[in-house]
A and B are shown apart, each in its own frame.
Chain A
Amino acid sequence: MTATDTLVPPTTDSDRAAATRPGRHPSTTRRLLGTELRLLTRDTITFTFVLAFPVISMLIIGGVFGTEPDEAFPVNPSHWYVASYFTVVIGSTGLIMLPVHMASYRERGVLRRFAASGFPRWSFALAELAIGLGAIAVAGPLLLAIAAPVYGIPDIEDPLRVVAGVVAGSVAFISIGVLLGSVLPSARAAQSVGLMLFFPSFLLGVGGPPPAVMSEPLREVAERLPLALATDAIREPWLGIGDGTGPLIAISVVAVVATALAARRTALS
């Protein structure tokens, strides 16, 4: 900066119009989405958790019970867990990655800066929705790619219902993540709450013991957990052990309610 530098006073509408760049200017949401995608690739710790935790857990637990169906497992146990762990990606994205990221932005005043700069109220939530779907789209196939040479990928019996389950489960948990990120005051709080929600859901509803070996009360609880509903909506039509209609309807209702609440609560402040 030098003493001879001068700034053009930006004072009139005509000045502003004259400076308008030719061609289409990317919308705020698009610019935010592009920026957030770049930042996601630099946030190695969080992204590694979302990518690596399901993969490592799946590799460990998938080999514990062998490959033969028995009383506990109606299908090859390894395949049971490969199909199940797809939703761990969804759960870790929605319950840990997004809430911590959003709460961290709020805590550090990043959201207020977005708000003061005229970013639309929805822009950040929409960007996070896309980020969440992107993370799931990367981490899910990665998990299957790593499972394929080790345990094999089970045949998908009803692809349409599986896709419906993945979409409904993803929207539900991303919305829950946006909602948590909107109401929790700090990154530390978001991390604590997220982990408290994630691990019981993970152990009871997805990656722990199969429902057949659980006690009746525990099974009653496990069947009603949102992550378990998402898992059943995907796993049953995938493995051909049911059509998953009940869980699909239930997780769709969760998705609608969570999306409505997240939309109502979301704000850049």
Chain B
Amino acid sequence: MNPNDLPPHPEPVVRVRGLTKAYGGRTVVDRLDLDVHAGEVLGLIGANGAGKTTTVEILQGLRRQDAGEVRVLRLDPHHDADRLRPQIGSQLQSSGLPDRLRVGEAVALFAGPHASDGGALLEQFGLAGKRRSPYAGLSGGERQRLFLVLALLNQPRLVILDELTQGLDPAARREVWSAVAQLRDAGTTVLLVTHELDEAEALCERVVAMRDGRVMDQGTPAELVARHAGEVTVRFGLTETDLTTTADALQSLNRLPGVTGVTRERGQVAVRGDRAAIAHVGAWLLGTGRPVPADLRVDVPDLESALLTLLDSDGSDASDQKGAA
């Protein structure tokens, strides 16, 4: 993707150029370029060890880079940490609160001079009834929602969420997703670090895929899926009465717009193509005048398929993705 294709934005909230960080000789972030624009939810995705968490720790000034330029809200995260950190709301991976600290006390502790109404935030995130509950007594989902409240408390200009739903059960994940969706809808700038690709697909307007500390590709989830996840496949069975016309049918399907190939195996037809092919195959089935096959199935590749393809690639195209993410 050419960086010039990105919508013009004079002042990204986060601007990273050539960021490099190594631990004990092992490079974990390798000449990374990254832009996060105001009002967007950007997902930083990749497998464990891709360098995502190190990157966001450097953005918050919790670690110092070995090389490269980092600007967050036009400030240097290391030298301007005291000015920058109050403007960032963050949910850190592997961090907690004292066991005996109560929810209401946590809000009071973290509320700076610019804090919004903590009570309203607790109400909004379903924690109003937990004000007197100690941190140790909260469920996993409640803890993450409390971290979201704390991250938003001081009206941050950038919210960083690192592995927000790690270890949560499906119901708790949905609760947290709903909270992040609220941020997105309100226009808050969010940098979401995750290796849960369904999460990135559901919440992020743009994603940056990392491997070995480098950007493999970037774009909207749909763009990454289109580029890397392979084709859509529509499958359905043909009854024996169709056998005489099977050859004609396959030829007809093969000529449909968006279709790239048709195969038949053990009575099952598989039509491959782009997303438009789904509609055309559907129209073709209706046009036959016969009932819609009961075993009709559509396999649409998702972001996970795209990332797996990217991870399986040799990485030679990573250097082509040097444009700012």
Contact = CB atoms under 8 A, between A and B. Distances in A.
A167 interface: no
A35 B109 contact: yes
29 contacts: A1-B124, A1-B126, A1-B179, A1-B182, A5-B124, A6-B185, A7-B124, A7-B182, A7-B185, A9-B188, A10-B152, A11-B187, A12-B157, A19-B114, A20-B113, A21-B115, A35-B101, A35-B109, A38-B105, A109-B95, A112-B92, A113-B92, A115-B62, A116-B85, A117-B85, A117-B86, A117-B150, A118-B88, A118-B112
A239 B111 CA distance: 50
| Main DSSP-derived SS at the B contact region | loop
Interface string A231-246: 0000000000000000
Contacts of B179: 1
A32 B109 CA distance: 6
A225 to B, nearest CB: 33
Interface string A89-105: 00000000000000001
A10 B188 contact: yes
A43 interface: yes
B192 to A, nearest CB: 16
A8 interface: yes
Which of A7, A11, A38 is the most central at the interface, judged by chain B CB atoms within 10 Å of its CB?
A: A7
Interface of A: 1, 5-12, 15-17, 19-21, 25, 28, 31-32, 35, 38-39, 42-43, 105, 108-110, 112-113, 115-118, 120, 269
Given A109-B92, A116-B62, A116-B88, A31 B109 contact: yes
B182 A6 contact: yes
A7 B186 contact: yes
Contacts of A116: 60, 62, 85, 88, 90, 92, 95
A113 B84 CA distance: 15
Contacts of A7: 124, 152, 182-183, 185-186, 188
A148 B252 CA distance: 104
Interface residues of B, number: 48
Interface in B148-183: 150, 152, 154-157, 175, 178-179, 182-183
Which 8 pairs from chain A and chain B are nearest by CB? A10-B155, A109-B95, A118-B85, A25-B113, A118-B86, A7-B186, A9-B187, A42-B100
A59 B182 CA distance: 61
Contacts of B182: 1, 5-7
Contacts of B175: 1
Contacts of B24: none
Contacts of B116: 8, 10, 19
Contacts of B242: none
Contacts of B88: 116, 118
Contacts of B98: 39, 105, 110
Interface in B247-291: none
Contacts of A15: 155
